[in-house]
Amino acid sequence: MAIDPVCGMDVDEKTAKFKSEYKGKTYYFCAAGCKKVFDKDPENYLKK
């Protein structure tokens, strides 16, 4: 399981519909809204 970097929910990498690549790593999201927010400012969510 992966952790959604925006909301902290567990996300199954195998079934996740929403994902983004950033600096060579794949991030998984529970919903389109979390992906959209992350894509606007990924560094904000990765420094937490």
pTM (predicted TM-score) = 0.91
For the chain, domain boundaries = 2-46
Tens-digit pLDDT string for the chain (48 aa):
999 999 999 999 999 999 999 999 999 999 999 999 999 999 999 986
> What is the residue type of 47?
K
Strands (E), the chain: 2-3, 10-11, 18-22, 25-29
Residue-wise burial string across 17-44, b where 16 or more C-beta atoms lie within 10 A, e elsewhere: ebebeeeeeebbbbeeebbebbeeebee
Residue 6: HSE in the Cβ half-sphere, 13 Å Cα cutoff: 20
